[in-house]
Amino acid sequence: MCGILGLLLGNTKSAAAPELLEAGILLQHRGQDAAGIATSDKFGRSYSHKGDGLIAEVFGTTGDKVSELKGPMGLGHLRYPTAGLRHCSEAQPFARQYPLETYLVHNGNIINTAELQNHLGANAPRVGGSDSELLLCLFIEQLKRENVVQGSPIDMHVISNALAKIYELSEGSFACAMMISGLGLLGFRDSHGIKPLVYGERQNADGSIDYMLSSESIALNKLDFKNIRDVQPGEAVIFPITAVHKPLVKRISPALSYTPDIFEYVYFARPESVMDGISVHRSRQKMGVGIAKAVKSEFGDSLDEIDVVMAVPETSNTCALAAAQYLNKTYSHGLVKNRYIFRTFITPGQSQRRTNVWRKITAVKEEFENRNVLLIDDSIVRGTTSKEIVKIARNAGAKKVFFASCSPPIRYNHIYGINLSKKENLIAFSKTTQEVCQDLGCDRLVYLPLESLIQSCLEARDTSKRVDSFEIGVFTGEYITDLKKSFTVPTVKPVNRTLKAEVLYTVTKLETELRTVVTNVDIGV
């Protein structure tokens, strides 16, 4: 799970970096490990800055780093690591300078990396272990096969062929944005549409048009982009830097299915977003009604035991409110989130996750004392967060603690973009609901049935109703892609952080040799 951005401004004198920073802040929930922005000006010169941490930490509060990134075209990335190292060398965008200076940002996970590495051989001089960088290497390799020479005119057919090589050889999920200096911006999505990618346009007073790509529509909406559309499975959208050209939509690969990752609606995405015609907010309301029905069925005549319903903030807020309304129960904000502590689910390490739960969640004792409490969360993954929250509720004086999950039991690896390296780490793996309940230390546990989850998302579709199924492998163990292609579970290797940001500042001119200056700049604690 990462956040990706691409921006092409119609006014060539404008700078893309400030708006990429703003959009990155809006997508910060999709990754807090590293951030980066790369830009290109009308002369083909490129500029890049990336490093560990939140995007505001990487680029500073004064805006100095952003002002150094010139040009009307750029990419942005928020990294949540699923493979490779936890180090700024893995921060995106990734770049290759020959035969065309090309930058890439990627959301998703490639599952046949060993096969791709063997295919590329010496042609894949990767900095670390990132699967994302392999996609860029495949693209560059095909450009070389097409005898592309720097500075020569580029036929869009050549670009399509290079993209086709990615689709032909890669297995897994990918939603990508790519910037080719002097040529333009492009976005493309895997043949199953597993990871989201949207784009829109914005009319300027001078008649020029800006175009933007984003993982979620929230970034486009807040920056006043209109006509928002989803990149379709197997499709690429090309935005030429020449202002007179409109976006080119090209079918690169047949759409093998249209199956978005259902976890986007359960947990990942912001509630304001609409992806693949499905409102995240509406889908979570439907999940709340679904879990309420499951609770009613589980409790039967003892439903009166529940005194109050509470959300485990913040993703489940919508679900819990809808459930309380359906059950005709009091809804209370009994758990308060420290908004300066980020998502514990994507924090590396069990002990760190446990510590962060206590920092992140505080109980309002008056809401718990001598009451039977129904806590509703979006999901239960490793169980670390849920166990600690049950303890917090009991320590606040709750008589009984009931727990409900707005997703089914997660028993299998998420191979398309979440760092779940071993299914044995999942609390529901090979366990019954009662056994999980005992592990969590709660009095009762209720899961949303899978069919109810799917129906909740389908009922939140717009009138186009393009999507009729989802990627649900974490619940069933059956995945939408072919796992025969050298599949290995991705791992993330921790390294000691130096609290430094890597600044890769590249200045190029078309038809000249490239000149690269690499510096390290302290960003402080």
Catalytic (active-site) positions: 2
Q: Which two tokens stand for residue 203?
A: 């009319």
CB-side exposure of 348: number of CA atoms within 13 Å?
Answer: 17
The 3-state secondary structure of 279-329 reads EHHHHHHHHHHHHHHHHHHHHHHHHHHCCEEEECCCCCHHHHHHHHHHHCC
- Other C-beta atoms closer than 10 Å to the C-beta of 482 total 12
Residue 193, classified by CB atoms within 10 Å of its CB into exposed (0-12), middle (13-18) or buried (19+), is buried
Three-state DSSP state, 346: helix
Please give, one letter per residue, the 3-state secondary structure of 408-449: CCCCCCCCCCCCCCCHHHCCCCCCCHHHHHHHHCCCEEEECC
Q: 222 by DSSP, 3-state: which?
A: helix
d(CA 382, CA 15): 43
Q: Which 8-state DSSP code applies to residue 232?
A: P
Report DSSP state, residue 5.
E
The answer to whether 418 and 410 are in contact (CB under 8 A) is: no
- Sign of the Cα pseudo-torsion (176, 156, 134, 43, in order): negative
Rounded Cα–Cα distance for residues 184 and 201 (Å): 15
Alpha carbon 112 to its chain centroid, in Å, reads 20
Q: Which of 162, 95, 86, 163 is nearest to 129 (CA)?
A: 86
Q: Which two tokens stand for residue 113?
A: 């990396």
CA distance 499 to 489: 29
- DSSP-based three-state secondary structure for 517: strand
Residue 114 CB contacts under 8 Å (≥ 6 apart), including other chains? 486, 488
Distances 398 to 335, 374, 429, 440 between C-alpha atoms, Å: 12, 10, 28, 15
Specify the amino acid at residue 170: S
